[in-house]
Amino acid sequence: MTTANTAIVIHAARDLRLEDRPVETPGPGQVAIAMEAGGICGSDLHYYQHGGIGTAIRVREPLVLGHEVSGRITALGDGVEGLTEGQLVAVSPSRPCRACKFCLSGQPNQCLNMRFYGSAMPFPHIQGAFRQHLVADASQCADATGLTAGEAAMAEPLAVCLHGMRQAGDLVGKSVLVTGCGPIGTLSILAARRAGADLVVATDLSDFTLGLARQVGADATVNMRSGDLEAYTADKGTFDVLFECSGAAPALAAAVPAMKPGGRIVQLGMGGDMTLPTQMMTAKELSHVGSFRFHPEFRTGVSLMQKGLIDVKPLITQTYPLADALTAFEAAGDRSRAMKAQINFTA
């Protein structure tokens, strides 16, 4: 096996480097993967732009970034069945321990010993998957036959949104508001439509992202720089469900008046602590639930894409070779032209 294994490593805010990492050999139950595509997530951008997420999660040692990845299997460890060399797989970054009280109670996304790729939450940090060669557990690999590598790498953010749909409950015939039209917001529009939502309205501060929101199925969009949601506030509000995907307190505050009494807010965006309009939420008897990561939804997302039921291709707006990783990260942070920027590890 080749010894070249270039990885994308963050050392501190704006200190992104390409560094070599050892190539590992798969052990029992593991596979070796030649990475093909990796999507730059909002958390990757937080590490690059700010050196962490909020005040609690900070980069304290060099961290290989990346958790939205796909690649082709190059070697199988002992005991691996159902996978073959050369097979394209979407690689789930979710690696729960399967033994703690939350794993045993059916909440693997809350695992006490989670090893989620590219996370500075624990220390030592959990190194990520933005590297040319990765050894992963066979259980992490979902067959992505029929998809492009770029599509397969979208399985992770799609799984986040599918988990959010679970938190929302029945969406058939419901009116849905989506605040924040980055990848999670636009994928939430696609997922809500697939779950039976009737009216879908989306808000953002970027005309570019709002255009993509309409392209993937939003009935209407509002640029909150120049507009508001007043038209949806009559008779105590319009929306049954809010998917808050921005992580910004002003977006949530502006949305609450447009919510129906008894409505449900699903918090997907993570931008640090937020101040909530609790008095109005109380008066409207709104519920506010978090939605954190995913687990079984990963394979469901791959399957939905393979069946053509969810099309993520319009959301992949840029692809850069590994050598241009810094350019890719700069582009990914420009919401006037980027939705999902990806790295091509084979270029």
pLDDT at position 271 is: 74
pLDDT at position 56 is: 85
Rama region for 328: left / alpha / beta (φ>0; ψ in -120 to 50; rest): alpha
pLDDT at 332 over 60: yes
pLDDT at 336 over 80: yes
Per cent of the chain over pLDDT 90 is 95
Q: Which domains does the chain have, with CATH numbers?
A: 6-154+312-344 (3.90.180.10), 159-290 (3.40.50.720)
What 8-state DSSP symbol labels residue 109? Answer: G
Alpha-carbon span 341 to 325, nearest angstrom: 10
pLDDT band at 188 (very low <50, low <70, confident <90, very high): very high
In the chain, the DSSP E strands lie at 6-12, 15-20, 30-39, 52-53, 57-58, 63-64, 68-76, 88-91, 133-137, 141-143, 175-179, 199-204, 220-223, 239-244, 259-267, 287-290, 316-321, 340-344
Task: Indicate the pTM of the whole model.
Answer: 0.95
| pLDDT tens per residue, range 275-323 | 899 999 999 999 999 999 999 999 999 999 999 999 999 999 999 999 9
Structure token digits, residue 298 = 């990963």
Identity of the residue numbered 124 = P
pLDDT at position 289 is: 97
pLDDT band at 3 (very low <50, low <70, confident <90, very high): low
Alpha-carbon span 35 to 196, nearest angstrom: 35
Structure token digits, residue 195 = 């779950």
Place of tokens 């990848």: 183
Structure token digits, residue 202 = 């989306």
What is the CA 236 to chain-centroid distance, rounded? 32
Beta pairing, strands 133-137 & 30-39 = antiparallel
For residue 315, how many other CB atoms are within 10 A of its CB?
23
Angle at 67 between CA 292 and CA 130, to 5 degrees: 160
Q: What backbone torsions phi and psi does residue 204 show, to the nearest 5 degrees?
A: -165, 180
pLDDT at 69 over 90: yes
| pLDDT tens per residue, range 82-103 | 999 999 999 999 999 999 999 9
Mean pLDDT within 179-206: 97
pLDDT at 126 over 90: yes
What 8-state DSSP symbol labels residue 219? Answer: S
Mean pLDDT within 179-198: 97
pLDDT at 75 over 80: yes
pLDDT at position 4 is: 87
Q: For residue 91, give every residue at least 6 positions away whose Cβ sits within 8 Å of its Cβ, in sequence order, or none.
A: 33, 69, 70, 71, 129, 134, 136, 140, 141, 142
Query: What is the separation, in whole angstroms, between the first and last Cα of the chain?
Result: 19
pLDDT at 104 over 80: yes
What is the CA 114 to chain-centroid distance, rounded? 17
| pLDDT tens per residue, range 7-25 | 999 999 999 999 999 999 9
Alpha-carbon span 130 to 345, nearest angstrom: 8
Rounded mean pLDDT of the chain?
96
pLDDT at 1 over 50: no
Burial class (CB in 10 A: 0-12, 13-18, 19+), 2: exposed
